[in-house]
A and B are shown apart, each in its own frame.
Chain A
Amino acid sequence: MVGRAPAGSLGGMDAYLDHAASTPLRPEALAAVTSVSAEVCGNPTGAHGPARRARRVVDEARDAVAALCGVEAGAVVFTSGGTEADDLAVNGVLDAVAERTGGHDHVAVCSAVEHPAVLEPVLHRGGHTVRVDHNGRVDLDHLDAVLIEHGDRVAVVSVMAANNEVGVVQPLEDVARIVRRRAPDAVLHTDAVQAAAWVDLAPIVASVDLLSVSAHKIGGPKGAGALIVGSGVAVAPRLRGGGQERGRRSGTHNVAGIAGFGAAAQATLAARADTAARVAALRERLAAAVTATVPAATVTVPAEVPQLPSILHLCIEGADSEVLLFLLDDAGVAASAASSCSSGALAGSHVLAAMGVAPERAAGALRLSLGWPSTEAEVDHAATVLRAAVERTAAFGAAAS
């Protein structure tokens, strides 16, 4: 049984294949956001009926998010989203270590393919990156070497559970083993924003100290997320104030957003294995159609490499991502390439560069990402449109040369 995205939320597209950027609200989340927005006015920290109602909404959502992540409710720190959770993980740990030691010579280490929400804070604080192989998987030998070199100065290591651009899943248990051996005092963080909708987080959370999740990647609303903080892990607050979230993140709760997050977490957890299997089959169907009809396309991450069921990343030789996205959009297909800069222009992909993908191949990068409401009809339409777009591009390229 395939759920349906709220009517109109896909903007009239015939195929929405950008779920890794944001996936539609699940009906349960829409209902929760709507009813809480309409019916709950209290501030959760207050001491009266309406406040208690708001507090209950937040706490029940906390239970649902905790269940999704396989942790106790007390480990959940609600944030404004994945970026704030990642920022709190990197900067919060560095700040906590600096406060404890009185020094500022500690650094963070992360993989070279992290989302900018991790990569930028790590580099801003003078940290180091770890190489990845040609499939985007962390080079464990290099991680070992970096940790040997920087040893006790490493306060936090961050390696994402699954990559947002190419979908590759990282060997977190191996990463954890190396971190525990080489930097036993370091905190291990994982950005599970992309993974949460698709994989069981229990084994992951067992290997790490901190884990980031985001509501709108699992069918919740934008503007809510959480950092899972393991017991005894010191994270200094980034936002000080009223002391919400046990002093770890001040600011009045986004009650309706958190309610939607909780509802989406519950719905995701209930159907995760089935949805993942169904979407994996859709992805295979899409990959088969594209490789059969678009000879210039190569699948970036080979099938035998552990990866999310939802992302099909392609490099299309001789094509330009910007042109492909325009032609796809024109034909009712929403897709994406790499990240955009603040002007909205496409920027080069640091992920593909770290994987050693040649710039001329990366120029034709295309990410097709599926989600909980994806259908065979969408996948088939996208494959047809992509073929036409690539053929048009090739015909113009031939005419120009």
Chain B
Amino acid sequence: MSVEEATAAAAVGSGAPAGGRVLVAMSGGVDSSVAAALLVRAGYEVVGVTLRLWGGESDSGCCSVSDVDDARRVAQQLDIAHHVFNFAEEFDRQVVDPYVEAHLAGKVPNPCIECNRHLKFDHLLRRARLLGFDRLATGHHARVVTRPDGRRRIARGADAAKDQSYVLYMVGAEVLAGLMLPVGSLDKDDVRALAAELGLRTAAKPDSQDVCFIRSDEGRRGFLSARAELHPGVLVDAAGDEVGSVPAVELVTPGQRRGLGLAGGGTHRYAVEVDVPARRVRVGTAEELLVAHTDVADCVWTDGTPPAASLPVLVQASAHGPVHPAEVLVGVVAADEAATGVGDASPSAVVRWREPQRRVAPGQSVVFYDPAAPAEVLGGAVVAR
């Protein structure tokens, strides 16, 4: 794709007159660099901002200094103003602390989704409006589409392998009215080619990996053990017999097979249920992981309200995982909820799978796509248990 085509595509669907003011969240990566560049070329008045989220050490140095440097240097190349907003306190409170707590409660949280929910598309958006910007842009690989009736939705990015619509499911109509995703209609290769063509210094910068606040040398375990006490747990089979042990029950994910220390050969055995308070993990066969329905909480719908009480959807349960048909029963509480008392948020919906599916770990998000328009997001929720 040429620079001209990409520039035109960047402005498409924005509904904003050229010359309007756009605040671009610049992470220091190639995607948001190109996003900013395309908006500048399309005639918008662009201001770049980098969020200082994690104040501790990371793979890119303390306070992610090198990423901030990259963002600032790209902004200089584009001759746009660049600011740094210090959201470290909010990030700790709304992303990091809940991340630790969720693990201690036996859940597998997705901090990137919570960061989008609380920081980028709430705190930053409100900040942008306060500062006089009615438009916010990011470098996500997803698109904002406008339906024939004028309503907007998040849709999958053009590059299926890089699609980030999954982590944007919480973006509602009100946010979509002012959101621009300039690289969503580009393949990643095109993004890099454009960055190179425009001479942006981030053109060859590797994609970011994993959770930004966890250093690769310490890992999830090192991070959590520095902030909370992790406990050894026992592995038991269906009969309740002890078959092994793990050093930290909080780090076991339902569906996990590797790292349980179980001998290979024969039938693979998986973590089927993780009971953190009892420090016990039940292991079993792949068949035992299959569930007919999944209780979810914190449902959000792009249009604000669920489209129907019972809604056919395509469900994606991980960032780049497959989609499976299901039905969302909104407002349904599982029959055994009161009896078990499990979960700290009451499920606000039940996902009834068309075919039994492998369990999705509590804390993970499930995202609902429209069967009639499979690229488009209807909403999503967090698995309760």
Measured between beta carbons, the chain A residues less than 8 angstroms from B68 are 343-345
Chain B, interface size category, equals 20 to 34
B65 and A342 contact, CB distance less than 8 A: yes
Q: A2 near B: Cβ within 8 Å?
A: no
Q: B221 near A: Cβ within 8 Å?
A: no
Q: Which of B79-87, B272-280, B337-345 contacts A (4 or more CB under 8 A)?
A: B79-87
A343 and B127 contact, CB distance less than 8 A: no
Partner of B130, one of A342, A346, A347, A396: A396
B63 and A342 contact, CB distance less than 8 A: yes
B86 and A345 contact, CB distance less than 8 A: yes
From 345 to 401 in chain A, residues with beta carbon under 8 angstroms from any chain B beta carbon are: 345-347, 392-393, 396, 400
A323 and B131 contact, CB distance less than 8 A: yes
Q: B88 near A: Cβ within 8 Å?
A: yes
A330-B132, A345-B52 as given contacts; A323 in contact with B127, CB under 8 Å = yes
A345 and B130 contact, CB distance less than 8 A: no
* Smallest CB separation, B79 vs chain A (Å): 13
Measured between beta carbons, the chain B residues less than 8 angstroms from A345 are 52, 63, 68, 84-86, 88
The tally of CB-CB contacts under 8 A between chains A and B is 45
Measured between beta carbons, the chain B residues less than 8 angstroms from A14 are none
Q: B126 near A: Cβ within 8 Å?
A: yes
Measured between beta carbons, the chain B residues less than 8 angstroms from A59 are none
Partner of A342, one of B62, B83, B88: B62
Most chain A C-beta atoms within 10 Å of own C-beta, residue among B64, B81, B84:
B84
Q: How far is the CA of A341 from the CA of B69 in the complex (A)?
A: 13
From 35 to 78 in chain B, residues with beta carbon under 8 angstroms from any chain A beta carbon are: 50, 52, 62-65, 68, 72
Q: B129 near A: Cβ within 8 Å?
A: yes
B130 and A393 contact, CB distance less than 8 A: yes
SS class, residues of chain A in contact with chain B: helix
From 308 to 322 in chain A, residues with beta carbon under 8 angstroms from any chain B beta carbon are: 322
Measured between beta carbons, the chain A residues less than 8 angstroms from B85 are 322, 345
Q: How far is the CA of A341 from the CA of B63 in the complex (A)?
A: 8
One digit per residue, 1 when the CB lies within 8 angstroms of any chain B CB and 0 when it does not, for chain A 299-340 equals: 000000000000000000000001100110110000000000
B131 and A330 contact, CB distance less than 8 A: yes
A322-B86, A326-B83, A400-B126 as given contacts; A343 in contact with B131, CB under 8 Å = no
* Smallest CB separation, A316 vs chain B (Å): 14
Measured between beta carbons, the chain A residues less than 8 angstroms from B131 are 323, 326-327, 330
A343 and B64 contact, CB distance less than 8 A: yes
* Smallest CB separation, B55 vs chain A (Å): 8
Q: How far is the CA of A265 from the CA of B299 in the complex (A)?
A: 66
Residue of B nearest to A327 (CB): B131
A343 and B130 contact, CB distance less than 8 A: no
* Smallest CB separation, A2 vs chain B (Å): 29
A323 and B130 contact, CB distance less than 8 A: yes
Partner of B86, one of A326, A347, A396: A347
One digit per residue, 1 when the CB lies within 8 angstroms of any chain A CB and 0 when it does not, for chain B 192-222 equals: 0000000000000000000000000000000
Residue of A nearest to B63 (CB): A343
* Smallest CB separation, A116 vs chain B (Å): 15
A343 and B126 contact, CB distance less than 8 A: no
Measured between beta carbons, the chain B residues less than 8 angstroms from A322 are 85-86
B84 and A344 contact, CB distance less than 8 A: yes
Measured between beta carbons, the chain B residues less than 8 angstroms from A392 are 130
Measured between beta carbons, the chain A residues less than 8 angstroms from B52 are 341, 343-345
Measured between beta carbons, the chain A residues less than 8 angstroms from B72 are 344
One digit per residue, 1 when the CB lies within 8 angstroms of any chain A CB and 0 when it does not, for chain B 108-133 equals: 00000000000000000011011110
* Smallest CB separation, B240 vs chain A (Å): 52
- 27 A-B pairs within 8 Å (CB atoms) are namely A322-B86, A323-B127, A323-B131, A326-B131, A327-B131, A327-B132, A341-B63, A342-B62, A342-B65, A343-B50, A343-B52, A343-B64, A343-B68, A344-B52, A344-B68, A344-B72, A344-B84, A345-B63, A345-B68, A345-B84, A345-B88, A346-B84, A347-B86, A393-B130, A396-B126, A396-B129, A400-B126
Other 16 A-B pairs with CB < 8 A, given A341-B86, A344-B84: A323-B131, A327-B131, A330-B131, A341-B63, A342-B63, A343-B50, A343-B65, A343-B84, A344-B52, A344-B72, A345-B85, A345-B86, A345-B88, A392-B130, A396-B126, A396-B129
User: Which residues of B pack against A, CB within 8 Å?
Assistant: 50, 52, 62-65, 68, 72, 81, 83-86, 88, 126-127, 129-132
User: Which residues of A pack against B, CB within 8 Å?
Assistant: 322-323, 326-327, 329-330, 341-347, 392-393, 396, 400
User: 7 nearest interchain CB pairs?
Assistant: A345-B86, A345-B52, A343-B63, A344-B84, A343-B68, A345-B84, A396-B130
